Chain A
Amino acid sequence: MSFLSFFTRGRSAPVARDRLQVLLAHERALGGGADLAAVLQKEILAVIARHIAIDHDKVVVKLDRGERVSTLEIDIEMPEATLARH
C-alpha cells in the first residue's frame, strides 16, 4: 500500500462511478448490438487473409477503451514463408 492510498482508502465509489460512465458511453454507442471489436477483428482479418495466409492462433487483438480515444490493436504474426512468396 502506498503512502497516498492510505488516505484514499475506502473511496472506491467514485472509481465505480467513473468506470461505469466510460464503459456505458461505449456500450450505448453500440446500441446493445454486436460486439464492435469482434466485428472489426473478423472483417479486418478477412481482408488480410485474402492476400496473406494467416495462422488464426497467432493473431492477438487488444481493445483499450479510453474516455476520449479508444484503440484497437491487431497483432498478426506472418511467417517468413508467406512473405517470401509476395
Chain B
Amino acid sequence: MSRVMVVTSGKGGVGKTTSSASLGAALAQAGQTVVVVDFDVGLRNLDLVMGAERRVVYDLVNVVQGDAKLPQALIRDKRIDTLSLLPASQTRDKDALTEEGVGRVIDDLREKFDWIVCDSPAGIDKGATLAMRFADLAVVVTNPEVSSVRDSDRIIGMLDSKTRRAERGEKLEKHLLLTRYDAARAARGDMMKVEDVLEILAIPLLGIIAESPDVLTASNVGCPITLHNPASAAARAYTEAARRLLGETIAITAPMERRGLMSRLFGRKAVVA
C-alpha cells in the first residue's frame, strides 16, 4: 500500500527540498517506487536539486488543471529508474492548486508508486496546507535554532488539525529530521542539543543530518547525496532514515565531532591551520 509523506518545516531554508530529494532517492535505492512532488508553486527548486531542470515540460499545476496527463508531467530519474519527479509550476497564481485537484492527483499517484513524497513550500499558507493535506505521515525538518524549532512546533500543530487524517481522527505519524546539526557547537553549548529539540517538539526522531559541505556539493551538481556521495556521513544518515521509514529498527548515532590531527593532539583549543 502506498504512503503519502509530506516533508515540511514552516521555516524556509532548513533543508526541506534537499531532504525530500535525498529521502526520495534513498527509498528508491531501497527498491521502492517513489515520486517526489514539488508543491512550491512559483518557486520550484526540486527539479534543480534533482538535476532535472532541463527536462521539465509539464508540471503539477498543468496536471491539476487538466492541461496535461500525469504520465506526461512525470520525469523519471536518469540514475535510478524507480525514482520520479513531479515538478512545480513557476506560475505566480497562488490559487493554481485546488484541494480537489491535488487530491485527484495524489489518488492517481497512489496507483503508480509505493511512496509519494510531498516537498512542502515554506510558510503556513495554502501551498503548505495542501502539501500536508493528504499525508499519511510527516517528516518535520528542523534546524537546532530557535526560529526553526518554533516554526516546527506550529507546523506540528497544523499536522494535528488541518490534515485529512487528523480530521477523520486517524493517526498521522510525525517524524523529526534534525538537519544542519553541528556536534562540536552543541558540545560547546553554542547550539541546542538533539535532546533539547526532542524534548521541546516531542515527536520521534527519524535522523540527524550533520552540517556538511557534501550536502551543498550534491545540490550544486543536481544529484541527491545518497546517489552522488553514498559514503558521506549525510548520505548514510539519509539512507538510514529511509530504512527507518520502511520499518527497520536502526539505532540513531549522533554525529561525532570531527577533529583534525592537531586538535586531537593538543585538545580543542589548538589552532589548526
Contacts and interface: CB of A to CB of B under 8 A. Distances in A.
Given A19-B146, A24-B153, A12 B158 contact: no
Is chain A's binding surface mostly helix, strand, loop or mixed? helix
Contacts of A14: 189
A61 to B, nearest CB: 22
Interface residues of B, number: 19
Contacts of B191: 13
B190 interface: yes
Interface string B140-168: 00000110011001100110010000000
Interface residues of A, number: 16
Contacts of A12: 189-190
B256 interface: no
Contact of A32 (B146, B158, B186, B189): B158
B173 interface: no
A14 to B, nearest CB: 7
A20 B188 contact: no
B245 interface: no
The 9 residue pairs across chains A and B that have the minimum distance between CB atoms: A11-B189, A17-B196, A32-B157, A13-B192, A13-B189, A16-B146, A24-B153, A16-B192, A20-B200
